[in-house]
Amino acid sequence: MILPGGAIGILGGGQLGRMLAVPARQLGYTVNVLAPLGDAPALGLADHAIRASFEDQGAARQLAAMSDVVTSELENVPAATARAVAERRALHPSVELLAITQDRNEEHAFLDGLGISTAPGRPVHTVEELESAISLLGYPSRLKSARGGYDGGGQFRLRTPGALDEARRLVPTLRRGWRLEGELRFERELSVLVARSEAGEVVCYPPFENEHRDGILHVTTWPASGSPRAHSRALEIARTIAEASGLVGLMCVECFVAGDEVRVNELAPRVHNSGHLTIEGASVSQFETHIRAICGLPLLTPEPVAGGVAMVNLLGSEDRKHVRLHGCDEALRDPRVHVHLYGKDRERPRRKMGHVTATGVDAADARARAERAAAVLRFGG
């Protein structure tokens, strides 16, 4: 057990690191952050900062030496950096789990091995593999980069055979390859946060429901709609993955749901955007749960604190510096609304700048409040 008073190292300086630092500091841990130069919202809440590239193994060793345990707020940590940390200190997520979740094809092979359904798909490294995969999967389908895809990035949609030439051109551009996935018809997207401690204690958040716009999460509502059987299946899947992967910490399992059928879309071995509503909306936040799990503290069974909770992301619309959030005078009049701004220096179109959470009598009421607040909030100088 790493007792409060000890030190937690975080690889990554984004908003997830910032929100992790809050309960870590509240519990009395020292927070050390390794982040590259540039905008790093976590640094404002860190005790010690190391400004270095994620490729810098010396810096990673320094972070490990300063910390009793190290975690990561991003899954794309270079393997050599993760190993440099893990040789010195416990790293959660582990090198092995990072390797699985950094590559869509590895991740799907892992899920297949557990008998967990996913979208039908095939690894694609060559034009020949693309052609045989498309003859199997048909249209519409999606060519997804095996590595580094995020917020719908690194994806190319093949709606009709007319898109095949462009896909043929794309395939050789990535050394680490692609995955071609048949497009599913689903009714809703759910995510389940699951946490496991070293002692093997596992807890899950009841599923959240997510709506994306242009590949980026727009709104999360809780509790999710849909069949109780689908919810139980999603929870069972998340628990199976946590146990089979030896997870220590918190992970997000994103699922597509049609009726009672649940298929996993992807895994994120870290705190997740869909879990931001747990800060004000759950008996224990995803960030505190992660800190508890990696430090060996007891895990609590999370539940919503209201009939409904919702979160709406605040995305940037322009490229500008020194952002101010306008409209708070109106948005903050609703006592059930909570506004978060991540303290990023630079606004950019589609960049996640903050979010709004609202509680309500049910999920629809919470969503209406969160959307109403988000609609009056705008970035400016």
Among 73, 103, 189, 280, binds ligand AMP (CB under 6 A): 189
Chain Cα centroid distance, residue 227: 24
Residue nearest to ligand AMP (CB): 119
Strands (E), 4-153: 7-11, 30-35, 48-51, 69-72, 91-92, 121-124, 141-145
Q: Which is nearer to ligand AMP, 30 or 191 (CB)?
A: 191
Looking only at residues 238 through 297 of this chain, which bind ligand AMP when binding is defined by CB under 6 A? 265-266
User: Tokens 């100088």 belong to which residue?
Assistant: 381
Q: Is 184 in the site for ligand AMP (CB under 6 A)?
A: yes
Pick from 6, 78, 152, 177: which binds ligand AMP (CB under 6 A)? 152
- Contact between 223 and ligand AMP per CB under 6 A: no
Cα(32)–Cα(277) distance, integer angstroms: 25
Tokens representing 321 are 């510096």
CB of 341 to ligand AMP, least distance (A): 25
183, 198, 236, 334: residue in contact with ligand AMP (rule CB under 6 A): 183
Considering only 56, 68, 75, 181, the residue that binds ligand AMP (CB under 6 A) is: 181
119 binds ligand AMP (CB under 6 A): yes
Instruction: Specify the stretch interacting with ligand AMP by CB under 6 A; choose among 2-10, 20-28, 182-190, 271-279.
Output: 182-190
Task: Select from 245, 236, 297 the least CA-distant residue to 268.
Answer: 245
**Least Å distance between CB 348 and ligand AMP?**
19
Decide: is 149 part of the binding site for ligand AMP (CB under 6 A).
yes
Tokens of 14: 């984004």
Q: Is 53 in the site for ligand AMP (CB under 6 A)?
A: no
Which pair of tokens denotes residue 95? Answer: 């090198």
b/e for 148-183, b at 16 or more Cβ within 10 A?
Answer: ebebeebebebeeeebeeebeebbeebeebbbbbbb
Beta bridge partners of 192: 253
Q: How far is the CB of 150 from ligand AMP (least distance, A)?
A: 7
Whether 332 contacts 311, CB under 8 Å: no
Task: Give me the residues that bind ligand AMP (CB under 6 A), please.
Answer: 119, 142, 144, 149, 152, 181, 183-184, 189, 212, 215, 265-266
